Amino acid sequence: MSSGMYYNEYLKLDDLLAAQQPVSQHPDELHFIVVHQVHELWFKLALHHLERARTAMQEDQLLEAARLVQQVSGIFENLRQTALHLHTLPPPAFHRFRQMLAPGSGLQSYQFREIEFLGGARDPRHVAWVQRQLENSDQWERVHHRLEEPSLAEVFDAVLVRHHIPEVTNIYAEPHKYSIIYTLADALSELDHQIQAWRYAHIQLVQRTIGTGTVGTGGTTHDYLLATLKVHLFPALWAARDRLTSWVDHGTIEIPKGHIGNG
């Protein structure tokens, strides 16, 4: 009969807890390292769930896909709180080890870039920027393969085609008719919102620690970080809202009573 495994063996705690290696003598650097390593662990789980959600969408298991996407939204909600925890560090603390990080930057997280590409953020200018950030390492190859796979945005478009929906705006115009697909669209929209909220928490951290006029260790500026708030994984879902408003304003449709949700 198997004696099983102990907690620390199953989680490989010795390896995990040995992975924090500060480069300075400042005691707050451990805080900084742990927060970012936690981010990478959550990113790993987010990618796992998003791949499962994509498969579920391809197999028309749309409620399961929505559930998985909602789990990833929960991950980013947790990550936002994790990023906010770094706000507890006084600004001078970060400066004690900041220069030792250069040219490293959180923007070089290849797992987060995989999340962007897997989701649907594939504007050529954005892809080119990511390549410039990662091209001096083997990490670009790890990210680039996502561009050869269908994105969640593309798979969602295929769902509309299979269900004979002319365009995504129709889902919001007739949510009761397309209730399951509406639920999925709502989950994808919420994921976009949660990622944007997490981005903004990072921008606030930069403002609190190094200010708005300083170039980051990876060469990025505050203005660039603000521009990332315009990056969406599912731009078609936001464009559909504009069209829906236009349809209503021009009398093309009438919103039925009991319209569900916020989408």
**2-49 per-position pLDDT tens digit:** 667 899 999 999 999 999 998 888 888 898 899 999 999 999 999 999
- Was domain 26-249 assigned CATH 1.20.58.480? yes
**Tokens in use for 74?**
């929960």
Q: Are 51 and 43 in contact (CB under 8 A)?
A: no
Q: Are 116 and 133 in contact (CB under 8 A)?
A: no
Q: What is the pTM of this model?
A: 0.86
Q: Tell me the domain boundaries of the chain.
A: 26-249
How do residues 210-222 score in pLDDT, each as one tens digit? Answer: 665 455 444 555 5
Q: Are 120 and 147 in contact (CB under 8 A)?
A: no
**Tokens in use for 196?**
């944007």
**Tokens in use for 139?**
């990490």
Half-sphere exposure of 91 toward its Cβ, with a 13 Å CA cutoff?
8
Scored b (16 or more CB within 10 A) or e, 134-149 reads: beeeebbeebbebeee
